[in-house]
Amino acid sequence: MRLPPQKRILREDIKGAPAWADGIVDTVNSFMESVYLMLNRNITFTENISSFVKEISYTTPSTYPTGVANVEFTNTLKSKASGVLLAQIYDKSNYTPPTSAVFVPWVENNGMIVIYPITGLAASTNYLVRLVVF
């Protein structure tokens, strides 16, 4: 859905309005401009959506996929997490992504996000994992 072309209320649109309406029009226009700017492809996870980004260093052992410890971190949201999105993952040694599909299984337990062994990675590799928790 596209945004409507009208972004503000013009004084000509409310001819005959009392003088006190000017203050309301200015406030409404300021609000409408902010919302219009935000909705015009400027919504971000960190500023507009209840979420946070978590970067972790994730090393797979030679025995991968077994022998990998769970990773835990605190949920800093004011509510229980709804999802954990994998935003980016790459091998730290050569900055290349994994060649197969990656899955990040997780649960929230007493305010802690628990990441179970991530699948789809190579053994004996150190990865940077960037997650968006919302």
Q: Tens digits of per-residue pLDDT, 66-77?
A: 999 999 999 999
Tokens of 125: 């590799």
Which DSSP symbol is given to 100? S
Mean pLDDT of the 98-114 span:
97
7 band by pLDDT with thresholds 50, 70 and 90: confident
Residue 16 clears pLDDT 90, i.e. is over it: no
pLDDT in tens, 44-67: 888 899 999 999 999 999 999 999
Contact 8, 29 (CB under 8 A): yes
pLDDT in tens, 115-129: 999 999 999 999 999
Half-sphere exposure of 82 (CA within 13 A, CB side): 6
Question: Is the backbone peptide bond immediately before 4 cis, with ω within 30 degrees of 0?
Answer: no
Stated pTM of the model: 0.79
Question: Domain spans of the chain?
Answer: 1-43, 49-133
